[in-house]
Structure 1
């Protein structure tokens, strides 16, 4: 373990306020370097790192507060090539510690982890719950599951059980659990009820939730005696990969002609960049416009697109002072929907994340202001 590099990471996290009380020793007790493959991609730019060729850069990445991608495109893309979509990573230390603080796992707890990844988070959870607790980790990729179990066994965390299965179904053979933590982002309205069913009353479920217009809300649920769960957003935002079956394709190379004058046209005084550039107001749009994507060019163009129906809307400055020209095409009038949602958000007092209440029952899921 490179103690000087670890000390620098700890100092950085403390300075940024990303060092939850009581969880700091985890970084020293469960060294990240033991769970980072010899070849991977570091940071937002996916810089290839190789422990053999350049051990210094590899160690620098291992002890930095950044994500380390360990797989692209379900393993199709081989290092050092950068693929289209990351499909496994070793998460940022600040994000991991923040999620553990929100989860509140304690010694003796039985924890279900969704998304084993490299095994690092499972090892830290095992360290938290101790010898009287249990950690079960579900990993959909058989190769990743096998490699993670090998790392866990090699580093002394044999008690972490890695189960190769779709995490959305939970792991019923080892239920019920005190805590469920997912490092897989789930789509709004698709929180697996299996997690609720397999959690003890009074237990906690922590998961990132995303919509096509907004990603990153971390939601903490409490499970109740009646088999329902209610939750609220946590202050921290995170970005995690989706379930492999939920991943929607990126925007195609050929997008609509946003200035097609044969589309339906009208004008508006609502500034689209203001409603889209603010994460709080954009979440209200995400709730109202499921499946929709957006794009924004400050001061020039904003657009919405629904890949499911082919509907789209674009907004550009109009010749009139303070007005914008709206073009819409398809069975949905996406700008009308977005403007109505934004108006409702304003009239509701501009509710922020903690104002939203999430409810999950066996037959429905809802999100409302409460």
Structure 2
């Protein structure tokens, strides 16, 4: 299959979901993805979960098929400490799936002549797409925290002839040297929106980012910078990205000692919380500030679903709630004195009492003092009790 046919198939796959408009489609056609993908990458299919390596030299057909499919391609593990062929480790950089790229670019809606700040260069493909969208009269500044990734991205951009400013540094600081901006495009997961991005943007500027508070679903957030130096906007969809390095949280959850370990029970099925709609995730996150994850792997006792809930500010405060078939009370193992599971279930009940609002009814306001999640209108602020 030639490149044109592969491109047609990719674009056709994006259209039914509505992720790609005419201008974004033109950019994708003008900036071939394969020019920004390394010879060796890692694919982690959503359905099977069995990661595998693609190698352009060893199996060019599989490599080309992956590049022009709607899948993300992992390009780094453990910040470069682990080789891709090891097939294990934390994913720390990737070429995002084309549908996600197209969706966020459509939300950003860059115009010709815009000055754009991109946070997270990665392979450089999105920077090149942005440069195409803003044209010769615009400019793109892209910030990449990883020096080795920035070096390769710079080579990719130069080889393609993209006139983008590439800066190696922590994207949390933005890039004041090239400010002000009309658009800010973020390609890493954000828990707390840095105010520097608002400071470096003009009134009316748009900021699009993956909002990943840590509880359940991750979201796309579209903000508009206001004349008073604040920014506000709503959550129009979903976007899941690797968390910005400076906003990562510790994964280890050690126990303090027997006195801090609590064995409790609950009658609330943890799957009720884990499978709740995205609006519930936003409400629980805003009301409790807690994080969660889950696993459906069976153990030696048979089928098991386990949900972990943790306090991101206290590594000694966490809980695990187990579902097993045929029981009416579920085990809760809690470390620390904070009643994490009770807080989660109470927040869920509050969301239900509000009429189970959809995620589109939630929004965020950013001020110099921090960020606030609200429901329906900026005055209805949600927060930890």
2: CA distance, partners of 1:16 / 1:31: 21
Which region of structure 1 is more displaced relative to structure 2, 46-55 or 132-141?
46-55
2: CA distance, partners of 1:98 / 1:53: 33
2: CA distance, partners of 1:79 / 1:163: 25
Gaps of at least 5 residues in structure 1 are: none
Q: Counterparts in 2 of 1:76-155, with a 5 A limit?
A: 76-155=81-160
Does residue 174 of the first structure (1) align with residue 178 of the second (2)? yes
Which region of structure 1 is more displaced relative to structure 2, 28-37 or 146-155?
146-155
Aligned to 1:284: 283
Give the TM-score, by structure 1 length: 0.89
Please state how far the C-alpha of 1:2 moved relative to its aligned partner. Answer: 1.5
Please state how far the C-alpha of 1:340 moved relative to its aligned partner. Answer: 1.4
Does residue 245 of the first structure (1) align with residue 230 of the second (2)? no
Aligned to 1:48: 53
2: CA distance, partners of 1:56 / 1:321: 50
Distance change >3 Å, CA 303–CA 47, structure 1 → 2 = closer
Which region of structure 1 is more displaced relative to structure 2, 6-15 or 54-63?
6-15
Please state how far the C-alpha of 1:282 moved relative to its aligned partner. Answer: 2.5
Distance change >3 Å, CA 309–CA 68, structure 1 → 2 = closer
The question of whether the paired residues in 1 share the 8 Å contact of 2:265 and 2:329 is answered with no
Aligned to 1:342: 348
Aligned to 2:80: 75
1: CA distance, partners of 2:6 / 2:130: 23
Q: Counterparts in 2 of 1:1-370, with a 5 A limit?
A: 2-44=3-45, 45-157=50-162, 159-187=163-191, 190-235=192-237, 237-250=238-251, 263=262, 265=264, 267-268=266-267, 270-280=268-278, 281-295=280-294, 302-306=307-311, 308-315=314-321, 328-370=334-376
Q: Give SS of 1:163's match.
A: strand
Please state how far the C-alpha of 1:17 moved relative to its aligned partner. Answer: 3.5
Distance change >3 Å, CA 365–CA 91, structure 1 → 2 = same
Q: Give SS of 1:359's match.
A: strand
Alpha-carbon deviations, 1:10-48, whole Å to 9, x = none?
222223433334321222210000000111112434421
Alpha-carbon deviations, 1:156-185, whole Å to 9, x = none?
11x111011111100000000000010011
Distance change >3 Å, CA 204–CA 313, structure 1 → 2 = same
1: CA distance, partners of 2:89 / 2:112: 40
2: CA distance, partners of 1:288 / 1:100: 30
Please state how far the C-alpha of 1:344 moved relative to its aligned partner. Answer: 1.1
The question of whether the paired residues in 2 share the 8 Å contact of 1:71 and 1:88 is answered with yes
CA RMSD across the alignment: 2.8
Gaps of at least 5 residues in structure 2 are: 297-302, 377-385
Please state how far the C-alpha of 1:359 moved relative to its aligned partner. Answer: 0.8
2: CA distance, partners of 1:112 / 1:293: 31
Distance change >3 Å, CA 176–CA 318, structure 1 → 2 = closer
The question of whether the paired residues in 2 share the 8 Å contact of 1:212 and 1:286 is answered with yes
Give the TM-score, by structure 2 length: 0.86
Q: Give SS of 2:86's match.
A: coil
The question of whether the paired residues in 2 share the 8 Å contact of 1:264 and 1:329 is answered with no
